[in-house]
Structure 1
């Protein structure tokens, strides 16, 4: 074989191998080609998780707390029948839930205001702006400690008003017969009234539904000879 023929043969073999290599590369399964991308994607996801954790942490640290109250009628308090949902509706641009509202009662269980937990400082600022629009309510900042120390009844407690002063726990249980109340001891105290002090009894229930059912079925019923009014505490 001549030198020219041998050289031509070698060039043909090399070209054939190059085309074969190209065909093999183009026909490799997608999963094989994406192996390095998968590893990269896992690293990216881990970084994203880290960013999410950082965001949640910063959001938690950004919580703000405030007191919501009315300014009409010469006193800083809430309307007696105002509900948590009323407050949330009034501050509808602040992202509040029922768990973010605690009603602040005095010793006679009159609502003085509501403690609020905002998801951010910006939401707190928005709430102040919304409250100032109609000039019926005000919001002032409070500490987290004040929020943490305030008990929330969460609609699971009912206040009985007008219970006879001589009524025993057994009498109150008979009055509540048919409802799913928590057993004694009940919290009982006197509130100033005319012509004599009014006895009040706080009864706790296992769920909001139980408390509301008791209110619906027993409100204005009689314990011994006294008519008893009931109010669900929020």
Structure 2
């Protein structure tokens, strides 16, 4: 190879190396910026998730629970025919909904109290102030566990009072004919009465509307020549 050819070859190789170096010099910062952007995005997403978790945690921790009952006569119970809407109206500055109210019953299904769920401690304090204003009711604080464990009939059960002692399940089904009730067995028990104990029976329905329709159409109707009264359980 001549000297001129060798010199030309060296110039080509040198130019190629310079071009490659320039490409790496340009691409390296771009790659760094890309990785930096990805890291920033992940950090921002993590921060947002952390804020969301903190928000929901604060919301859960902000809930408060109370037990609402009457103090008339020194007892701890509610009016016999009280409704959830009555309690919500009574505590109208507390932002309660139907789902925030559970009625507590004794073994004979007489209402004792209402368990309430408040959206914040401030709402719970407002409820106490409202209850104290009329001096007819009182609210005590309860735990979330007490609220969670309490079963709610949610307006889907009806209590029959005055069921004939000799009435069978078939007789009750005929009495409730035309209503959308859940099939037997029905819960039945005796309550003290004068001159003799009164037979009670609990019948469950598929929806609130079904239970209310049964109450409207069957309350104070007759079963085996005995008048039966009905009450929807909240």
Q: TM-score normalised by the shorter chain: which range applies?
A: 0.7 to 0.9
Note the C-alpha offset of 1:99. Answer: 1.0
Return the TM-score normalized by structure 2. 0.78
2: distance between equivalents of 1:49 and 1:213? 48
Unaligned 5+ segments in structure 2 are 1-39
State the number of aligned residues: 199
* 1:93-132 residue CA offsets vs partner (Å, 9 max, x unmatched): 2221111111111111111110111122221111111111
1: distance between equivalents of 2:123 and 2:45? 30
1: distance between equivalents of 2:165 and 2:149? 31
Are positions 1:122 and 2:103 aligned together? no
Structure 2 equivalent of residue 195 of structure 1: 195
Deviates more, 1:175-184 or 1:109-118: 109-118
Note the C-alpha offset of 1:73. Answer: 2.8
* 1:162-218 residue CA offsets vs partner (Å, 9 max, x unmatched): 000110000000000000000000000000000000000000000000000000000
Are positions 1:232 and 2:228 aligned together? no
Structure 1 equivalent of residue 223 of structure 2: 223
2: distance between equivalents of 1:233 and 1:87? 15
1: distance between equivalents of 2:222 and 2:214? 14
Cα RMSD for the two superposed structures: 2.2
Structure 1 equivalent of residue 169 of structure 2: 169
Structure 1 equivalent of residue 94 of structure 2: 94
Structure 2 matches for 1:1-234, cutoff 5 A?
A: 47-48=47-48, 50-234=50-234
